Structure 1
Amino acid sequence: MEPLNLTEARVLGTLMEKARTVPDTYPLSLNALVAGCNQRSSRDPVTNLSESEVQEALDGLKRRSLAFTARGSRVDRWEHNFQRAMVVPEQSAVLLGLLMLRGPQTPGELRIHSERWYKFADISSVEAFLDEMQSRTEEKGGPLVVQLPRAPGAREARWAHLLCGPVDVSNQADAPAAATVSSGGLAARVAALEAEVALLRAAVADIAGQLGLSLPGQTETNDRA
């Protein structure tokens, strides 16, 4: 498959996340998808993508059969087709989605961050799926992840996805180790609430636009204009 660019990876990862964490508002409108891509929680790096950049990324994903528009809606709504296109199980898709959204992580971090996506039994089960994706044969498309050299002072090696092409592991060896999440439960809940609020705001804006209504605050802005 043609490697993804960074924007396509962020858009695809966001679709995969929202399909699992907020199914009631999925598939996503362009407006909601932009909000999801640019949210400040659960993202590394934080981005400020425009609608045109996200739309261009969606067109690229659609060309690769990784995303498509849902039927029966007055507004285009997008959903991913990652597992069918890449022929990977649910657990592998979850790990790849998290790596696309948060960057390189250790198996322990991946297990913590995946709680709202999929509950892995233990760290060894995460490592097993990572090992399987790293040893994927060329007949199946080749490896999907790579284990990075352990950073100085780090207890665990981090893993990175290969959906955007090969990773320069020599540079990664000198990168600082990702912070250990000691209060993962609270941080995950706060991040989830922030993400859901952003999506709900985008969904309300979509509905208001279809009905020709103004949201609170918009009337004052229009009056000043």
Structure 2
Amino acid sequence: MDLPKLDAIDARVLGSLIEKELTTPAYYPLSLNALVNACNQSNNRDPVMSLGEPEVNRALDKLRDRKLAVVISGGENKVFKFRHKATETLELTGPEIALLCVLLLRGPQTPGELRGRTERMHAFADPADVVATLGRLADRPAPLVALQLKQPGTKEARYVELLSGTVESKPVESAPVVRHLSSDTQRMQQLEEDNKSLRADLGKLRADFDAFRKKFE
């Protein structure tokens, strides 16, 4: 299946629909006004946008053409509401749609960031669970995510969604290996680090004391 290519506004609209379904189901599907407000939230969005109804409407038309959204008649009050179809069209599981949602709304992120930011949508057991789910999304015939090369000034590589056409970084060929340390091993490592720090501090104190003593010799 060929992936639908989305621009930044399409991605924001789709991500907002998914988020509201998972976090506030009582108020879902969304009216156009509610969807515009969701797209323009200042929290949980990167970048923050200021979209109007015409822009959101155009994005909805494109998403509907790609079978990623549908409009629902409002019945007697004639208010149309909208919901996404990404789960069905892209054949995603609950954990997968949660990760894709946050990537659509906030751009490239590390597994740790994704775990924290998907908490209200799906509770991942640990970072390894996140990486395993990302791996399934990346290993599909038409990958939905890729792992970026580590960027200058960053400690970890980040994952990026591939539905939008804004990906500039080249993906690496394989996901990182997550190694789990026992609590005893972690404690030993921490003790070794603390011991090194104490030895360094002690050495500095001795040097300062020797310099001070020589002033009176």
TM range (shorter): 0.7 to 0.9
1:19 Cα offset (Å): 0.4
Mind listing any 5+ residue stretches in structure 2 that lack a counterpart? 172-217
Matched ranges for 1:125-204 at <5 A: 125-137=129-141, 142-165=142-165, 167-169=167-169
Distance 2:54 2:126 in 1: 41
Distance 1:126 1:158 in 2: 12
Q: Percent of aligned pairs with the same residue?
A: 46
Aligned match for 1:121, one of 107, 121, 125: 125
Distance 1:155 1:69 in 2: 43
Mind listing any 5+ residue stretches in structure 1 that lack a counterpart? 173-225
After superposition, the CA RMSD in angstroms is: 1.7
Q: Which moved more, 1:148-157 or 1:91-100?
A: 148-157
Moved segments of 4+, more than 6 Å: none
What's the TM-score, normalizing by structure 2?
0.74
- State the secondary structure of the residue aligned to 1:14: helix
2:52 paired with 1:22: no
1:166 Cα offset (Å): 6.7
Matched ranges for 1:1-225 at <5 A: 1-73=3-75, 74-137=78-141, 142-165=142-165, 167-169=167-169
Count of aligned positions:
168
Question: Retained in 1: the 8 A contact 2:18–2:101?
Answer: yes
1:95 Cα offset (Å): 0.5
Distance 2:41 2:99 in 1: 20
Task: Name which one, 1 or 2, has greater alpha-carbon Rg.
Answer: 2
Q: Which amino acid aligns with 2:68?
A: L
What's the TM-score, normalizing by structure 1?
0.71
| 1:97-134 alpha-carbon deviations (Å, 9 max, x no partner) | 10000110000000000011111111101000111111
Distance 1:26 1:104 in 2: 27
Q: Which amino acid aligns with 1:77?
A: K
Structure scoring higher RCO (CA < 8 A, sep ≥ 6) equals 1
